[in-house]
Amino acid sequence: MNLAGELNPAQVKAVSYVDGPLLVLAGAGSGKTRVLTYRIAYLVEHLGIDPYHILAVTFTNKAAAEMKDRIDRMLGQGDVPQWVGTFHSLSARILRREAETLGFRRDFAIYDGDDQLALIRRMMKDLEISEKRHSPEAVRSFISGAKDQLVSPAEYKAQHTDFFEQQVVARVYEAYQRTLADCNAMDFDDLIMRLAVGYATHPDLLNRYQERFQYILVDEYQDTNRAQYEWINLLARKYRNLCVVGDDDQSIYAWRGADIRNILEFEKDYPEAQVVRLEQNYRSTRLILKAGNEVIRNNKGRKGKELWTDNPAGEKIGLVETMDDRDEARWISRKIQEMRNGSGRVLRDFTLLYRTNAQSRTLEDELRRAGLPYVIVGGVRFYERKEVKDVLAYLKILVNGRDVVSFRRMVNTPARGIGAVSVSRVEQLAGKRGMDYLEALYHAGEAGVSGKAQRAALQLGEFLLRLRSLLAEISGAEAARRVLEKTGYLRELELEAVKNVDAETRVQNVNELMAALEEATERPEEGKSAVGLEGFLEEVALVTDIDRWDESVDCVTLMTLHNAKGLEFPIVFITGMEDGLFPISRAMESLTDLEEERRLCYVGITRARDQLFLTHANLRRRFGGTQSSLRSRFIDEIPDDLVSRESTGRSYSRSSWPKEEKATATPFEDDITSPRIVQTPTGQVRISQGQDVKHPIWGKGRIIQVAGSGDDLRATIRFSDTIKKVIVKYAALEMI
C-alpha cells in the first residue's frame, strides 16, 4: 500500500494518525469513504492490528456494504473486520448476543414505523385518548425524541408536568414501552437506547466491548443524536482510539434528533484530538463547487473550510425562472429530452431533487407525458407495502409468537371469519395463561370463541404451530411458500388481478418478496452465506430506501434533498427554489433552522458532478390554492458570474413590476408579491415582498412576507442576524 502515491497529503495524514482521537472534517466529494477504508487497511496491514478489534459505524447499509467491498479488494476477505455496519444493525447484533444480561429474550422483534404507529394507536384507544385531538404521528415523534435523548418513560413523566399534550405523551409512552416488553419487541430507537443504557448500567458488559473494540471509526458523525453519541463515547472511553469523520456543513437531520454540537464540540470532549481537514473535492466542477462555497459561508455555526478542485470549470449553473410549478416541470422534462438527444446523455444521468415529497406529483405528471421513465427514491418503501407486510406478519409471528402487531395483522388476513371480538378473547387468554398467540389460537375455544371463528382459529393455530416446529429444518423461503399455499393469500390476489390492474402489482410484489427470501435463505449470492428466517426479518426491518435503489437502471431519478445526502449524480435539478418552500416556511423565523436549510441547499448543490440547474416558479399550487412566490434567498447568495439565467416566458418577478405607483395590481389578485401602499406618520410608503429596507435598530433587511392591508399591513423582514414581524405603519422603515 503506497499511501503517498494513492492519497493526497491531507488524506495520508487522516489515514496514518492512529495514536488517539481524530476528527476528520471531510468536505463534500473529498473522498471520506476512501479515507475510512484506507485507514482500516492501514491498521491491519501496516500496524498489525487484529481486525477483531476494529469497529466501523456507518449510517446506511449501502455505505457499510461499499466499505466492506473496498476493504476486501485491498486486504482479502479474511482480513475484513466483521463489525462494519449501521448503528441499528450493530446494536441489534450486540443486543441479541447480550439479551440475557440485559433482561430480555434474544428472539425479539424489531418494529418499523408502521408497526410503531399501529401499537401507539392501540395504546391511545386503550387509554381513551382521542386521535382527533392528539395525532398518533405526533405522539410517536415525541416518544422517538425522548428515546434519542435517553429519557425513559418515568423520566419523561417527571420532566413534563406543565402541558396537557406532554402529559398525554407520557401516558402513551409508558403504556407503549410496557406493551413492547410484553410483545418481546423493540422499535428502531430502542436498539440504540437499550444498548447505550446497557453500557452505562452494566460495567462488565461495557468493559468487554471496550476490550473488543479498541479502534473505532464513525462515519457521518455530524448526524449522530444524543443516544448514538453516548453509544460511541462510552465504548471509546478506555482506549480513546476514536476516529470520527463528518462535515458540519452537511448536518441536515436536526428534525430527527441529530445534534450538530457532537461534531462542533468534539475537541472539547477530546482535548488531545488531532483535526484534519479534507478540502480537495474530486466530484464537482469548479463553478458548482464555488457556488456551494458561497452559499455555505453565510452560516455562522460551522468549523469553516474552503473546498477546491482541480476539475475543469464546467458549465455555468442554470438558473431558471418559470411561471408556475407546471411550467417548471414541463421545462425540466424538455431539458432532459434536449440533453439526452443532443449530448448522448442517458436517463440515469438526470436527478431531480426537491424539498418536500409533495413536489414530486407535478414532476411525475410531466415526465409521464414526455414518455420519460423515472424512479422515486423515498416513496412507499417496498417492505412497507400492504401485501408485503401481510406475508411478513406470518413469518414474524412464527419467529416471535408474542408479537401482537403481527398477530393482529395476520389473524384474519385473508378473511377467515375471526372477528375483532374473537381476536380480543384470544389475546386475553394469552395474557391470562402466559402463552403466546399461536398457542392461544389453538385453545381459542377455552377463551369463549365458538362456531366458525373457533374452527378457523384452531386450524390456523394448528398450522402455524406445526410450521414453527419445522423452522430449524426448512428455509425461510419454504416457510413462506407453505404460508401462501395454506392461507390462499396469493391465490386471492391472482384472482383479483384478473379484474384489477393494481392487484397485479401486488402479486408482483409478493413474488418479489419470495425472490428475496429465496436469495437470502436458499440461494445467496457468491461470497455470502444463507441466513435463517430470523436473520432475514432483521435485515428487512433495517433496510432503507437508499439500500434498495438500483442506480444502474436507466431512468430519471427523483428524490428529496434529504435522501440525496451521500450520493452524487452527473446532472442535478434542484426544483422549487422559493422562499417558504426552500427554505421551508417554518425555518424562516429561526436562524438555527435557517442555517440547517442552508446546509441542505449546500448538500443539494454539491451532489452535482457536471451540471446543475436551479429552478423556481412565480406561482405554485400549495395547500389547495395558488400562491405567488419569491425566489429563494439561497439563489441570491450565488454570485451572478456563476449562473446563466433563463426564463420560460412572461414573468411576475419583482423586476417586472410597473414603475408607476398607481399601477399596484398584478394579473393575479391574490399575488402577495404585489406592491402595497400604506400611510405612515412620515408619508405614503410603497412596500412589497423582496423590498430592501432599513430599520433604525436592526439595520438593513429584506421583506420576505407581506400580509394584511391598510393600517394592519404587516411585514416579515429578514435582517442580518434576526427575523422580525412588524406593523408597517409604526415600524419606521426606510425603503432602499
Could you give the residue numbers annotated as active site? 32-33, 219-220, 250, 607
Cβ neighbors of 586 (< 8 A, separation 6 or more) are 593
With CA atoms as reference, report the closest residue to 414 among 366, 352, 500, 486: 486
Write 563-567 long-range contacts (CB < 8 A, 24+). Answer: 563/377, 563/378, 564/351, 564/353, 564/603, 564/604, 564/607, 565/250, 565/252, 565/603, 566/59, 566/60, 566/63, 566/220, 567/607
Half-sphere exposure of 28 (CA within 13 A, CB side): 32
Rounded Cα distance between 544 and 547, Å, is: 5
Is the separation of the CB atoms in 653 and 320 below 8 Å? no
With CA atoms as reference, report the closest residue to 117 among 394, 401, 382, 405: 405
487-to-413, 455, 536, 543, 692 alpha-carbon distances in Å = 8, 14, 22, 27, 68
Half-sphere exposure of 20 (CA within 13 A, CB side): 9
Is the separation of the CB atoms in 222 and 263 below 8 Å? yes
Phi, psi of 56 (to 5 degrees): -125, 125
Q: Report the C-alpha dihedral over residues 351, 357, 358, 364, rounded to 10 degrees.
A: 30
Q: Which residues of 69-83 are buried (b: 16+ CB within 10 A; e: fewer)?
A: ebbeebbeeeebbeb
- Three-state DSSP at 83 gives coil
As given in the structure block, the three cell numbers for residue 426 are 384470544
The length of the chain, given as a count of residues:
736
- Three-state DSSP at 215 gives strand
Q: Report the C-alpha dihedral over residues 282, 218, 38, 55, rounded to 10 degrees.
A: -160
Pairing of strands 84-86, 54-58: parallel
In the 3-class helix/strand/coil scheme, how is 552-581 assigned residue by residue? CCCCEEEEEHHHHCCCCEEEEEECCCECEE
Per DSSP, the residues of 368-428 read HHTT--EEEETSS-GGGSHHHHHHHHHHHHHH-TT-HHHHHHHTTSS--S--HHHHHHHHH
Give the residues across from 185 on adjacent strands: 109
Give the residues across from 133 on adjacent strands: none
Q: Is the dihedral of CA 74, 77, 78, 81 positive or negative?
A: positive
Rounded Cα distance between 734 and 728, Å, is: 11
CB atoms within 10 A of CB 100: 9
Rounded Cα distance between 617 and 525, Å, is: 47
Rounded Cα distance between 716 and 457, Å, is: 63
With CA atoms as reference, report the closest residue to 495 among 508, 504, 484: 504
